[in-house]
Structure 1
């Protein structure tokens, strides 16, 4: 959907009123039309579509992102929880060799973490480190030259030393052009050839944080114009399913969505978040000034207007995102909430929905209201004692805690376990079919208080209708 700003008096008058109600709203000049595009990698029910508003479904996200990368004219900034897509990596390396500045923030994982899910011949983190080295070396395979992709992580990442794997991924046998170091990571001294530097602890030149919290974003900011975000990790399992599926172009991966928005103001907000984590605005990262996780501050604008649409943007953990979602539900949800979620455990949000549904947060108490609530949980956590699915379906949890008390619902709403062969990985809430909440963050204490995440709240019935089409197909 493409619209343009109309420079008429009534529109300006409305903007003036909106700005007077929220000092956070500041318009920026841009020389292009704003766009909001939504894509789904699974089916959608387009019979529910508004006229000329059919959802874009069964879409290859990798192709969409590569298309944006190929059209970049100056710079690309990305954040990823994981990356192992060869075509995407090759596209980034190619653009870096053509003079596009590329900065990339990646989540570090423990060397003890197996990450064996859906792995073929190499363990996933080992495979990712091999791909990161290819990115770091650039097209000429020499680190420290102009065609390199600049990398930073939340915790240090070391090279893979296995000769067989290095040959397989067409890397030089020698890794001695990466410095051999001994670093204090958390409370352990770890040695290796440093591939990706990370945020330093204050007052110590070789002290780093352990990779406990997740850098869980999946973001691309292109030319400070386009923002590409959503629930999709840049992985084979996230889109295709298996390597064979990838080779055959089969979209058998996890259920996900992506949102790409062309708007300079929103891109500038995401860039500010990126550069807080990067440690500055230079091509190379500054580990001394980099800030991840709880060390970040709430320093970005949160409310903007995109061609008459209110859009809110929040980052975890600095912005207390789940409180913002709860406030939105309390304020905007008068008729209905529909959701699809991978992991949902945040009790305060469960309580708000229980009050909407049956007027009480007390265990097995409440009378049915006229509020409509429907939800789909990923099967992975459906039976976990801490999952919202337990109390919502009136089941007795195996255990409780202060954060997860027993507050079973008396009137069981239509919430179900997903039956897809892969994971339901979305984090989507549709409110009164006019507001949609999307992003990288699951609705959990960990995502809200520890992880680096991003969340968009979009007030637009047409965009929301596209998410409704996808929801009805689930």
Structure 2
């Protein structure tokens, strides 16, 4: 048995260390000052790189700070995680509060689409949790005869899960893509909804990564597409300001099917997906429609291009608005005399990263921005340009949505659709100007 040393270093070890130190000192003395500086610089750079990789690897999953993507620091949790927390949280009404509509949801229809908005109220009344956007989605799913593809960020609606199971039972091929954070959420309603799908042996693919799979779309029989800002949850349906649209067009459905299969079949997400879809620009019912997906299509550049075309007005509803290129495009148009009005989700709008502070500080009479009045969440992501073009979808106006997440966006040049969205803007603005209670 070897003897235990009294100290951690033996005499022989110390002598070897001293000899090594002398050798190193001699080597250093023989180096020129120029080479010494270069060597120190290389070592310093390696330390910085190692530190950067450590920080990236320990980043939480957030909407504004994606894993391995250099974007602005996040002022809070992810945009959609923020919405989920606020949405499921029970907010105690202020004393004496009476039922207040937070904007009665409207609808608009044409030969090729039906558009719907939520009708949240404060305080929330669960007896009124019926006849919401989920009804339109369930009716659409019930039409499926061949295929039903669902890509949804947040999910807990039991009736939507039931409709998916019913489709599977009548022979429809049903598939789902979701975000890992949602799939592993321990909330009882989330787990119950997923259990119904798993019990029916409906295949579910998760993104398994830091940035989020933030889509919320459904494709039925490769003919119908449902999309918008609305997640398939109870509180997205009855507490949040949201929009959803159902479009009947096989070419548009082809785009969404291709995007779905990039995730479901190829297991690729974010910037790793192959670029493009078959029909990025198409005509539906005589209307020009553009369709882009993140992170592969450079979505924010397409938004900026449309904003730069504005000659009269820009109105927007923004759950998260931190993308400087989009904000600068809006500000430049305001400085050029275009009328600009916007409502920001209150939570996060007071941070240095939000475009709210930059816009409000300009004090331009034709640039009027406000924070919203829904005590829960104002969840829209919408631009209305010259009251004839609408930009909407799952895409928050952030760098992370553009470069890291999975998102979808529609740009529709239709005055009738723009009129419906402008009416929704006016409803949300009215609540912002006269909120039922001060939002924290």
Q: TM-score, normalised by structure 2?
A: 0.67
Q: Is the 8 A contact 2:207 2:213 kept in 1?
A: yes
Query: How far did residue 469 of structure 1 move?
Result: 1.2
Specify every segment of 5 or more residues in structure 1 that has no aligned partner in the other structure, as ranges.
1-32, 44-57, 116-122, 139-147, 156-210, 241-252, 280-288, 360-368, 395-408
* Alignment partners' CA distance in 1, 2:332 and 2:193: 48
* Alignment partners' CA distance in 2, 1:298 and 1:468: 32
* Alignment partners' CA distance in 2, 1:136 and 1:445: 34
Give a deviation string over 1:215-262, Cα, whole Å, max 9, x none: 00000000111100000010111012xxxxxxxxxxxx1000001100
Q: Is the 8 A contact 2:219 2:226 kept in 1?
A: yes
Alignment of 1:113-192 (within 5 A): 123-124=186-187, 127-138=189-200, 148-155=201-208
* Alignment partners' CA distance in 2, 1:60 and 1:231: 14
Alignment-derived partner of residue 321 in structure 1? 299
Partner of residue 384 from structure 1, selected from 346, 351, 356:
351
* Alignment partners' CA distance in 2, 1:464 and 1:262: 18
* Alignment partners' CA distance in 1, 2:327 and 2:346: 18
Task: Report runs of 4+ in structure 1 exceeding 2 Å deviation.
Answer: 126-131, 409-413
Q: Is the 8 A contact 2:315 2:384 kept in 1?
A: yes
Q: Is the 8 A contact 1:40 1:59 kept in 2?
A: no
Asked if 1:260 corresponds to 2:246, the answer is yes
Partner of residue 224 from structure 1, selected from 222, 225, 228:
222
Alignment-derived partner of residue 104 in structure 1? 176
Q: Is the 8 A contact 2:349 2:356 kept in 1?
A: yes
Aligned length: 308
Would you tell me which structure has more helix in proportion to its own residues? Answer: 2
* Alignment partners' CA distance in 2, 1:414 and 1:37: 30
Give a deviation string over 1:338-359, Cα, whole Å, max 9, x none: 0001000111111111111124
Q: TM-score, normalised by structure 1?
A: 0.63
Q: Is the 8 A contact 2:154 2:182 kept in 1?
A: no
Report the CA distance shift for 1:59/1:467 in structure 2 as closer, same or farther (over 3 A): farther
* Alignment partners' CA distance in 1, 2:370 and 2:182: 34
Q: Secondary structure of the equivalent of 2:112?
A: strand
Q: Is the 8 A contact 1:215 1:452 kept in 2?
A: yes
CA RMSD between the two structures: 1.9
Alignment-derived partner of residue 329 in structure 2? 352
